[in-house]
């Protein structure tokens, strides 16, 4: 029974019994309920450690499309849960805290984007996966930072394209493909905050360090990168490159997996331009805690629901992406 105060809060706010081993209980409930835990690299380290699968946005969508679990617990932000629900409408999809939004998805209200699309009827509409289901419903092809370049380049050179909502990713893809896609002016409040000045200061202190940058960062930060890529691409580069030090300009949760995969290497989080903190965190991703994960599995709530009419339209561009990414 879901309590009214939980509905108001957007998550189950129930104390964890003092005498339980929370991690063992989470694993036990997963087995009992045939549930799978998926986590994005930006969540807390202890959430990543208990997940069945950790990945970037593309890998999480691909995994959801293949799973035979009855319940998917998406430890990530709301649009990731929506994508899973659209791909698996018959399954129960849980996100441990409904407040886990995404500033980038919010920067593209579906009604305004639909008007922008209607004003350019001859354009192919490409949307980043960081969008709501309603925005995806007016999209032709969804992309992630892993496959955006490949998908854009697969379209004939003269295809007029709308790209939304991330103007930094769109600008970066324009610059490496020579396209002139029409950009929606949205952005991520975490990635837009990285300071070029502070990254260059770190580079001066660590001249041998390679700079790793997510393409949601602003152009000047992307320009100084040794590697630009999705979270999974940056992780794999940091493992395979011969450098032993890396300055990492993306949400700092990724450092957990980097450090685990290459314990002998040093990973330095790039700081934001404001404040004094040394790393840059997504406040939405950090809402997903072990306690909320336990409670969401126990009560099988909050569930993610997508309007069937919206889902029917949104699944086409998602499936197109999955097809084009094989």
Task: Give the residues lining the site for ligand 13P (CB under 6 A).
Answer: 56-57, 130, 144-145, 188, 216, 230-231
Q: Which does 145 bind (CB under 5 to 8 A by kind): ligand SF4, ligand 13P, none?
A: ligand 13P
In the complex, minimum distance from the CB of residue 216 to ligand 13P, in angstroms, rounded to a whole number: 5
Alpha helices in 224-307 (DSSP H): 231-240, 254-261, 290-299
For residue 255, state whether it binds ligand SF4 (rule: CB under 6 A). Answer: no
Q: Looking only at residues 89 through 118 of this chain, which bind ligand SF4 when binding is defined by CB under 6 A?
A: 102-104
Of 6 and 136, which CB lies nearer to ligand SF4 in the complex structure?
Answer: 136
Chain centroid offset of residue 170 CA: 16
Of 285 and 306, which CB lies nearer to ligand SF4 in the complex structure?
Answer: 285
Cα 270 to Cα 212: distance, rounded to the nearest angstrom:
9
Residue 72's DSSP bridge partners are: 36, 93
By CB under 6 A, name the one of 98, 190, 199, 311 that touches ligand SF4. Answer: 190
In the complex, minimum distance from the CB of residue 13 to ligand 13P, in angstroms, rounded to a whole number: 26
Token representation of residue 23: 């991690």
Q: Which does 56 bind (CB under 5 to 8 A by kind): ligand SF4, ligand 13P, none?
A: ligand 13P
Token representation of residue 276: 């004094």
Of 33 and 189, which CB lies nearer to ligand SF4 in the complex structure?
Answer: 189
Q: Which does 284 bind (CB under 5 to 8 A by kind): ligand 13P, ligand SF4, none?
A: ligand SF4
Residue 143's DSSP bridge partners are: 128
Kind and range of the H or E element at 173? helix 167-177
Q: How many CA atoms lie within 13 A of 77 on its CB side?
A: 22
For residue 282, state whether it binds ligand SF4 (rule: CB under 6 A). Answer: yes
Residues 6+ apart with CB under 8 A from 150: 324, 325
């Amino acid at each position: 029974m879901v309590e009214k105060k939980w509905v108001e809060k957007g998550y189950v706010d129930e104390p964890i019994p003092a005498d339980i081993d929370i991690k063992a209980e989470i694993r036990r409930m997963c087995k009992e309920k045939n549930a799978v835990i998926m986590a994005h690299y930006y969540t807390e380290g202890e959430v990543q450690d208990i997940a069945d699968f950790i990945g970037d946005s593309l890998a999480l969508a691909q995994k959801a499309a293949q799973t035979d679990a009855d319940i998917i617990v998406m430890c990530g932000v709301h649009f990731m849960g929506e994508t899973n629900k659209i791909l698996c409408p018959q399954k129960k999809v849980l996100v441990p805290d409904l407040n886990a939004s995404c500033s980038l998805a919010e920067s593209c209200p579906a009604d305004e984007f639909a008007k922008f699309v209607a004003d350019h009827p001859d354009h192919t509409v490409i949307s980043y996966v960081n969008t709501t289901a309603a925005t995806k419903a007016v999209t032709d092809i969804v992309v992630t930072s892993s496959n955006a370049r490949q998908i854009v380049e697969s379209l004939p050179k003269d295809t007029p394209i709308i790209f939304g909502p991330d103007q930094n990713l769109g600008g970066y893809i324009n610059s490496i493909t020579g396209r002139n896609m029409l950009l929606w002016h949205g952005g991520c409040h975490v990635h837009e905050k990285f300071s070029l000045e502070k990254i260059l200061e770190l580079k001066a202190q660590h001249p041998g360090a390679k700079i790793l940058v997510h393409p949601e960062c602003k152009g000047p930060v992307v320009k100084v990168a040794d590697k630009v890529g999705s979270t999974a691409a940056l992780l794999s580069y940091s493992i395979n490159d011969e450098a032993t030090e890396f300055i990492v300009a993306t949400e700092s949760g990724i450092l957990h997996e980097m450090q685990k995969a290459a314990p002998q290497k040093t990973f330095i989080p790039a700081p934001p331009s404001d404040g004094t903190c040394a790393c840059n965190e997504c406040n939405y991703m950090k809402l997903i805690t072990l306690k909320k994960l336990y409670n969401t599995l126990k009560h099988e709530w909050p569930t993610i629901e997508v309007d069937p009419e919206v889902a029917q339209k949104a699944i086409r561009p998602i499936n197109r992406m999955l097809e084009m990414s094989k």
